[in-house]
Structure 1
Amino acid sequence: MGSITVSNVGKAYKHYPNKWVRFVEWIGLPSAEPRHKLKWILQDINFTVSPGEAVGIIGMNGAGKSTLLKMITGTTQPSTGSVQMQGRVAALLELGMGFHPDFTGRQNAVMAGQLLGYSMEEISRLMPEIEAFAEIGEYIDQPVRVYSSGMQVRLAFSVATAIRPDILIVDEALSVGDVYFQHKSFERIRQYRKQGTTLLLVSHDKSAIQSICDRAILLDAGVLAMAGDPEAVMDFYNAKLADHQNQTVKQEVTATGKIQTISGTAEATIADIFLIDEEGRRIEVVDVGQPITLRVLVTAHCYIERLIFGYGIKDRLGQVVYGTNTDLTNQALDNVEAGSSICFDISFPANLGAGDFSIQTALCSTDTHLVNNYEWRDLALVFSVVNISKPNFVGVAWIDPIIRIVRT
């Protein structure tokens, strides 16, 4: 089993005012003052990935995610600190990295396998499996330059995971290509995880991070901004996306031990939120398929030209089962006066599977909180669904099928 230890890692590049200054420094002429400035991409990064653990790395473009992975895999050396890894490593970083465009897919697979430490005997034995998993057909013997980006990913992933590695490092490459192969790839990753592979995953895919990873790490402007439970980190990241506004972002530990993220300008806030049944009684436990109403009481603390309310139902892993808002339903409120109180009633059948669910809410001016985020609240309400009146089933949704069987 593999492990990764990143200690005080930083990466800086030299910035010169022009190419002649760079040349003068290169030839070694003495100078009383430094001829370059350091531009830090990453600073003081510390974390450990334990054997068998899955850790996701997230952050906006330019946060330093790819640079960090390159230092972890050894393709770039850190300016400060160190990276230690134990175990055999397989990495899938930049799309097609290491593939020669004029060689065939088969030839590139052989070379990539050798770089991963496979012997020629192992490569020959694994080649039929690599071909079968990649599913690129006769293109395996065509030059890589004629491949689509999706075909390159298929071949690269098939080679990198032909033998279960101790450590698997995957960058955004899997986001390229068709949905079918993405599902196929993540299923192999899940299988390897069960067998003890340590995983380091960089992705903007919230569902992938929350469903696969034990922990998540948020990089922001080259520093480690937060590490912890994937749902809490993703909620904080979502709040940071609107950080150009005059808003506050706070996190609180709820009575259940989960971390709740609340962000926004507080120009409008939720005063109360609860579920009621058909008789108007507050409830916290819901039967599968039961008609319920989500009641949300909102207070406007100043004049708001346009107010949109949105909500999402999340499962226990923090993945959104369903969400919508009053912009999408053409029910925006215009010219909301300061001090106004608004009641939003959302009625629906609880066609959910048994388990724990939460409600996230948003008060903004458009269909996204990135423009005017008055309040975004995760874990605004937590409730449980039990199956009292329906046949047994599995999953997070009650679809109530009609199954017809015809024997001939």
Structure 2
Amino acid sequence: MSTAMRIENVGKSYRVWGSEWLRVASWFGLPVRPKEEHWVLRDVSFTIAPGESVGIVGRNGAGKSTLLKMITGTTQPTEGRITRGGRIAAILELGMGFNVELTGRQNAFHSAGLLGYSQQEIESVMPAIEAFAEVGEYFDEPVRTYSSGMQVRVAFAVATAFRPDVLIVDEALSVGDAYFQAKCYKRVQEFTALGTTLILVSHAIGDIVKHCDRVIFIKDGGVFADGTAQEVSNLYLDELFGKKAASLQETVDVVSEGMEGGSEDVFHTRPYYNAAEHRWGQGGARIVDYLIASEGQEFPARIDSGARTSFYVKIAFDRDFDSIVPGFLVKTLEGLFLYGTNSFLASEGRAGIAVKAGEVIVCKFTMPLDLNEANYLVSLGVSSGDPLAELTPLDRRYDSIMLDVSRGMQFWGMMDLKADFELVGASS
């Protein structure tokens, strides 16, 4: 099997017909036109290789769920072709396929049967399904008595009772508790390590970056971007908080021209600068320079793990703002968020800073870099508005700085949470 899945020029439209005769005529391919036609997806094409972990992101209504329903075969495409390889297990809409009058056990038999497993095969894994779901005596109660989290527990346990060739999860885990989410993702990781293809739809960018190597961004009914998790997650964040007025390139052009008063952009001349940064924002402010100081040195070649380090950020303003809030974020090279803060959070509720057009300010974030030996990405930002309400991004420079943290492993993992140890008792 060379591909787990191939999507070729797929489209889906929902049609309103003037009469039932016209609807029936359309089934036979006769040249009839619908009264109304709404295209949810159009000209969608991509290929997923066996064993790939692929995330799908997009705003509500972008067509993500419709795409997954076509992939699983519960909805047929209006145009195009979908080629599937191997057995697919999917958790789509909450409780989809469950009969609320049947018990969890009965629904497990029914759902597993629809996946193509025999009665004997299902009976052999039923104890494992019941144990994984952890719903106790409710397993033999009608599903109508279940909470949404309990439905997800049973649905996931059934879908993963046998390792599928392709596992599709669409937001369902978002309603579960943190303990069960961790348990589910552990099973997903076990399956992907054995070659299962994962397709994950989630609005939680952290989950997408952590569990997916590749991300497909659906926008306006088509594939807007298809690339690495880090690259596409930045584009998706841009879409969510987005830039208005000028395009990204227009913003870059304005910054490149420079201004008097120390506001010329000099990022590209600084150590640690990452030319692959992702820059966006609504304008009115520009992050133009930075300085990193640690252990009495400016821009040290490497920063020791745990060293107290200051990040100075210079920001130029083209408009008046009653309240601006600078921000700071650290991520792994894979794009996993490790730590983020802003001027409001880091100064115990300091109010936003008022600035005038033409003004240039320098702010500083200082912290111990309690990170293990590795390379990390730093993102800088400045927003306007009420820190307790909604903030408007003015200039965001994602992944603009690459840090090299050294001195070997002093703890396991990525971050030092400063645990203390003491022996509080002993007996002989």
Q: CA deviation at 1:109?
A: 0.5
SS at match of 1:113: helix
Partner AA of 2:289 in structure 1 = D
Task: Provide the residue aligned with 1:145 in structure 2.
Answer: 144
CA pair 35-185 structure 1, distance change in 2 beyond 3 A:
closer
Unaligned runs of 5+ in 2: 26-30, 253-267
Task: Provide the residue aligned with 1:238 in structure 2.
Answer: 237
State how far apart, in whole Å, the 1-side matches of 2:390 and 2:226 are: 23
CA pair 175-258 structure 1, distance change in 2 beyond 3 A:
farther
Checking the alignment, whether the CA contact within 8 Å between 1:171 and 1:201 is kept in structure 2 is yes
Task: Provide the residue aligned with 1:356 in structure 2.
Answer: 375
Task: Provide the residue aligned with 1:373 in structure 2.
Answer: 393
Partner AA of 2:416 in structure 1 = W
SS at match of 1:232: helix
What's the CA shift string for 1:163-195, capped at 9, x where partnerless? Answer: 111111111111112111000000000000000
Q: Please state if 1:400 is matched with 2:418.
A: yes
Checking the alignment, whether the CA contact within 8 Å between 1:241 and 1:370 is kept in structure 2 is no
Checking the alignment, whether the CA contact within 8 Å between 1:210 and 1:317 is kept in structure 2 is yes
CA pair 357-229 structure 1, distance change in 2 beyond 3 A:
same
73-82 vs 237-246, greater mean Cα deviation: 237-246
SS at match of 1:158: helix
Partner AA of 2:393 in structure 1 = N
TM (norm. structure 1) is 0.91
Q: Please state if 1:191 is matched with 2:190.
A: yes
What's the CA shift string for 1:81-133, capped at 9, x where partnerless? Answer: 11101111111111111111111111111111111111111111101111111
State how far apart, in whole Å, the 2-side matches of 1:298 and 1:289 are: 27
CA pair 244-232 structure 1, distance change in 2 beyond 3 A:
closer
Partner AA of 1:397 in structure 2 = M
Checking the alignment, whether the CA contact within 8 Å between 2:274 and 2:402 is kept in structure 1 is no
State how far apart, in whole Å, the 2-side matches of 1:320 and 1:199 are: 21
Task: Provide the residue aligned with 1:10 in structure 2.
Answer: 11
SS at match of 1:156: helix
Checking the alignment, whether the CA contact within 8 Å between 2:238 and 2:280 is kept in structure 1 is yes
Task: Provide the residue aligned with 2:110 in structure 1.
Answer: 111
State how far apart, in whole Å, the 2-side matches of 1:369 and 1:261 are: 25
5-14 vs 318-327, greater mean Cα deviation: 318-327
Task: Provide the residue aligned with 2:327 in structure 1.
Answer: 310
Task: Provide the residue aligned with 1:127 in structure 2.
Answer: 126
State how far apart, in whole Å, the 1-side matches of 2:360 and 2:24 are: 71
Checking the alignment, whether the CA contact within 8 Å between 1:9 and 1:46 is kept in structure 2 is yes
State how far apart, in whole Å, the 2-side matches of 1:279 and 1:50 are: 50
Checking the alignment, whether the CA contact within 8 Å between 1:313 and 1:323 is kept in structure 2 is yes
CA pair 60-49 structure 1, distance change in 2 beyond 3 A:
same
Task: Provide the residue aligned with 2:86 in structure 1.
Answer: 87
CA pair 244-283 structure 1, distance change in 2 beyond 3 A:
closer
Q: CA deviation at 1:78?
A: 0.6
SS at match of 1:407: coil
What's the CA shift string for 1:243-285, capped at 9, x where partnerless? Answer: 3732433699x99998421111331111112311242522252
Q: Please state if 1:298 is matched with 2:297.
A: no
Equivalent residues in 2 for 1:321-336, closer than 5 Å: 321-328=338-345, 329=347, 330-336=349-355
SS at match of 1:327: helix
SS at match of 1:121: helix
Q: CA deviation at 1:242?
A: 2.9
Task: Provide the residue aligned with 1:345 in structure 2.
Answer: 364
SS at match of 2:344: coil
Task: Provide the residue aligned with 1:275 in structure 2.
Answer: 292
Checking the alignment, whether the CA contact within 8 Å between 1:217 and 1:233 is kept in structure 2 is yes
State how far apart, in whole Å, the 1-side matches of 2:32 and 2:97 are: 40
State how far apart, in whole Å, the 2-side matches of 1:49 and 1:274 are: 42
TM (norm. structure 2) is 0.87
Q: CA deviation at 1:14?
A: 1.4
State how far apart, in whole Å, the 2-side matches of 1:314 and 1:368 are: 24
Checking the alignment, whether the CA contact within 8 Å between 1:242 and 1:371 is kept in structure 2 is no
